[in-house]
Amino acid sequence: MSQGLSTEAQHDATARAIAAGRLPRRWGAWYVALHRFRVMKSYTGTVVVAGIGNPLIYLYALGVGLATIVDDNLPDAAVGGVSYLVFVAPALLASAAITVASEEFTYPVMLGYKWNPTFTGMSASPLRPTQIVDGVILSVAVRMAVNLVLFFLLILVFGAAPSPVAFLSVFAGLLGGLAFGTVLMGYASTLEEDTGQLAMVMRFIVLPMTLFSGTFFPLSTFPIWLQWIGWISPLWHSTELARVFSYGYAEPIWLTVVHVAYLAVLIVAGWVWARRIAIRRLGR
Amino acid sequence: MPPRSPRSRRAPVDAGCRCAGLSWSLVSEPVIVARDLVKRYGDFAAVDGISFEVAPGESFGLLGPNGAGKSTTMRMVGAVSTRTAGDLSILGLDPDTHGPEIRSQLGVVPQSDNLDTELRVRENLLVYGRYFGLPGRVIAKRADELLAFAQLQEKGKAKVDSLSGGMKRRLTIARALINDPRVLLLDEPTTGLDPQARHILWDRLFRLKEQGTTLLLTTHYMDEAEQLCDRLVVVDKGAIMAEGTPADLIRRYSSREVLEVRFGSDRNSEVAERLSGIGDRTEVLPDRILIYSENGEAELVRITEAGLHPLTSLVRRSSLEDVFLRLTGRTLIE
């Protein structure tokens, strides 16, 4: 073989590589999402049952059951001039997004990096670490949206979303779920070993957040020294936003802007954090 | 048993030449060129100035003990781990700038399987094929062909965790072939497998080699290196100790035959002193003494004539294990 010929062969190989890199460079994140959807398919049952069952139980227990006590004993003004069911429904919707986030952005992330290192497998293919992160977030966002739409339809069945733009509360929930979720993913990505950190997150962050985010009663009923938990909580911001959409809850417009901006900032920050960790961790 | 590697199939290399790359480039452009490759983690240099070249269709091995820097080298060649220093080119591209392009042409079999255990066997191939942007039709066809190649046709719908270690390994290799790669990187492909599973795997790899796939593999098994590698480097502590064909390395660093004698672990070192003059060289290991010689039987006769009676004796051909022992003073598997 002459050198000229072999150099040509080499150029062929290089050109082929460059051509083959095009699609993965553009669509890599989507390929990861497709993989995640296939995995999620194996627990579709859980997603649907939890997606319908949970809202049913919560809406019934709180919006109908607890509401009989609240509505009988408190003036409507205590929860902003609407029935307790209407008050609590958008908040439950926002919490459902947090639940999905804490399912999908914790152990599955640890799994992908460590226990069943599919992320390592992906990073040996043309996919880049950032695309792996994007794909995971994209797939969870879709799953979350499915859950939230189901939830919203049930709220409609309960007649608990009077506003004509009530469907926008789905987006409020999605924003809150992703704001909390991407940050959670960033944190879960940093964990080399699970020595109970994720269980701690559930117990000492997720649970208090649900209690102190104005879900069951307005944040303003708390003493001022406890209200800061609500202000930093993505759930409070998404809950308030969902209420604005769901029943036209009256708050100053600047506050609505703050909700959206705060959640957007968290999403971007968590996303960038998770990407950075992925680049570092998969490129070792 | 898979067929033995036909070492004369490829153009002979002057492995004694330190600038082996020069002679290779005249034969054909190398697929992989690594020059003074360094990877540091803090103060620790996992890879400390490794240079080698791999020609198209060649089967090249990195042989060394655990922790020698083989896997790190593989991850750098795989365009996953970024190098600290040195030059690296795969298919004429730099992994720092063309990672996805390089990886699109590689098949990677990592040291520990990272199949998705939440998916079924065939699904693992389907999702992996997607990562390369291949059309679903092509992936489905290849997946069936590769399941047959990996002797897993019956297992397509099985759960990954129900497979044996050897089957998982074969599935990982099938997955690595889904993009019809130019180069296959195998990191310790048969570690942890039983002898039968290893032979099946070697047979599969040998077929790929025959089809002209370039193989880069790491191993700490001598027999594996001898079975599969046209050429190899012996790596220890992040640096290359020697380079050549297996036969060539044995010729250069060992004798034709080795006589192994055992006198019982408490007497070996005492007896060793009385063996001076017998054989070209001796190595005293905790459990046995190795005597290197062109004629093992003759040395055994001399030992007996000297009035020494080993408990057991064995004459064998020199292997890469002996090369490694000579180069590092240590055995490979400790």
Instruction: Spell out the domain ranges in chain A.
Output: 28-282
Q: According to the model, what pLDDT value does residue B46 have?
A: 95
Best residue in B44, B119, B130, B134 for a mutation probing chain A (most A CBs within 10 Å): B130
Q: Which residues of B touch A23 (CB under 8 A)?
A: 132-133
Q: How confident is the model at residue A2 (pLDDT cuts 50, 70, 90)?
A: very low
Nearest to A38 among B103, B115, B123 (CB): B123
CATH entry 1.10.10.1590 includes domain B20-245? no
Q: According to the model, what pLDDT value does residue A67 have?
A: 82
Question: pLDDT per residue over B176-195, tens digit each?
Answer: 999 999 999 999 988 878 88
Nearest to A126 among B100, B110, B115 (CB): B100
From residue B184, alpha-carbon distances to A8, B42, B158, B216, B267 in Å are 22, 30, 26, 6, 48
Average pLDDT of the residues in A176-201 = 95
Q: Is A2 on the interface with B (CB under 8 A)?
A: no
The distance of A26 to chain B (nearest Cα, Å) reads 9
What is the rounded CA–CA span in Å between residue A52 and residue A153? 10
Q: How confident is the model at residue B106 (pLDDT cuts 50, 70, 90)?
A: very high
Work out whether strand B59-63 and strand B231-236 pair parallel, antiparallel, or are unpaired: parallel
More confident residue, A70 or A118: A118
Q: Residue B232: enclosing H or E segment and its boundaries?
A: strand B231-236
Q: According to the model, what pLDDT value does residue B125 have?
A: 97
Q: According to the model, what pLDDT value does residue A6 have?
A: 59
Q: What is the mean pLDDT of chain A?
A: 91
Question: pLDDT per residue over A242-257, tens digit each?
Answer: 999 999 998 999 999 9
Evaluate whether A18 touches B101 at the Cβ level (below 8 Å): yes
Q: Does residue B134 surpass a pLDDT of 70? A: yes
Q: Cβ neighbours of residue A124 under 8 Å, at least 6 residues apart? A: B78, B80, B103, B106, B108, B110
* Cβ contact, residue pair B116, A20, below 8 Å: no
Nearest residue of B to residue A11, measured between CA atoms: B92
Q: What is the mean pLDDT of chain B?
A: 87
Work out whether strand B183-187 and strand B106-109 pair parallel, antiparallel, or are unpaired: parallel
Q: According to the model, what pLDDT value does residue B6 have?
A: 39
What is the rounded CA–CA span in Å between residue B181 and residue B151? 20
Q: According to the model, what pLDDT value does residue A190 have?
A: 96
Q: How confident is the model at residue A13 (pLDDT cuts 50, 70, 90)?
A: confident
Question: pLDDT per residue over A68-94, tens digit each?
Answer: 888 777 776 667 778 889 999 999 999
Question: pLDDT per residue over B150-168, tens digit each?
Answer: 999 999 999 999 999 999 9
Question: pLDDT per residue over B255-280, tens digit each?
Answer: 989 999 998 877 877 888 888 788 88
* Cβ contact, residue pair B29, A39, below 8 Å: no
Q: Does residue A118 surpass a pLDDT of 90? A: yes
* Cβ contact, residue pair A17, B98, below 8 Å: yes
% of chain B at pLDDT higher than 70: 90
The distance of B328 to chain A (nearest Cα, Å) reads 28
Q: According to the model, what pLDDT value does residue A77 have?
A: 65
Average pLDDT of the residues in B281-300 = 89
SS3 track for chain A? CCHHHHHHHHHHHHHHHHHHHHHHHHHHHHHHHHHHHHHHHCCHHHHHHHHHHHHHHHHHHHHHHHHHHHHHHCCHHHHCCCCHHHHHHHHHHHHHHHHHHHHHCCHHHHHHHHHCCHHHHHHCCCCCHHHHHHHHHHHHHHHHHHHHHHHHHHHHHCCCCCCCCHHHHHHHHHHHHHHHHHHHHHHHHHCCCCCCHHHHHHHHHHHHHHHCCCCCCCHHHCCHHHHHHHHHCHHHHHHHHHHHHHHCCCCCHHHHHHHHHHHHHHHHHHHHHHHHHHHHHHCC
Evaluate whether B316 touches B222 at the Cβ level (below 8 Å): no
Strand partners, B218: B62, B187
Q: Is A35 on the interface with B (CB under 8 A)?
A: yes
More confident residue, B212 or B231: B231
Evaluate whether A137 touches A181 at the Cβ level (below 8 Å): yes
Q: Cβ neighbours of residue A8 under 8 Å, at least 6 residues apart? A: none
Domain extents in chain B: 20-245, 255-317
DSSP SS3 for B67: coil
Q: Does residue B9 surpass a pLDDT of 80? A: no
Q: Does residue B236 surpass a pLDDT of 70? A: yes
For every residue of B133-185, DSSP letters joined together read T--HHHHHHHHHHHHHHTT-GGGTTSBGGGS-HHHHHHHHHHHHTTT--SEEE
Evaluate whether B303 touches B242 at the Cβ level (below 8 Å): no
Q: Does residue B5 surpass a pLDDT of 70? A: no
Average pLDDT of the residues in A127-132 = 97
Tokens of B27: 């034969």
Q: How confident is the model at residue B18 (pLDDT cuts 50, 70, 90)?
A: very low
Evaluate whether B332 touches B321 at the Cβ level (below 8 Å): yes
pTM of the model: 0.88
Strand partners, A136: none
Best residue in B72, B101, B171 for a mutation probing chain A (most A CBs within 10 Å): B101
Q: Does residue B141 surpass a pLDDT of 90? A: yes
- The ipTM, to two decimals, is 0.89
Q: How confident is the model at residue B332 (pLDDT cuts 50, 70, 90)?
A: low
Best residue in B26, B29, B134 for a mutation probing chain A (most A CBs within 10 Å): B29
Give, rounded to a whole angstrom, the gap between the first and last alpha carbons of chain A. Answer: 39
* Cβ contact, residue pair B127, A38, below 8 Å: yes
Tokens of B189: 């492909």
Q: Does residue B15 surpass a pLDDT of 70? A: no
For the domain bounded by B255-317, which CATH number is listed? 3.30.70
% of chain B at pLDDT higher than 90: 59
Average pLDDT of the residues in A27-40 = 96
The distance of B261 to chain A (nearest Cα, Å) reads 45
DSSP SS3 for B66: coil
* Cβ contact, residue pair B118, A39, below 8 Å: yes
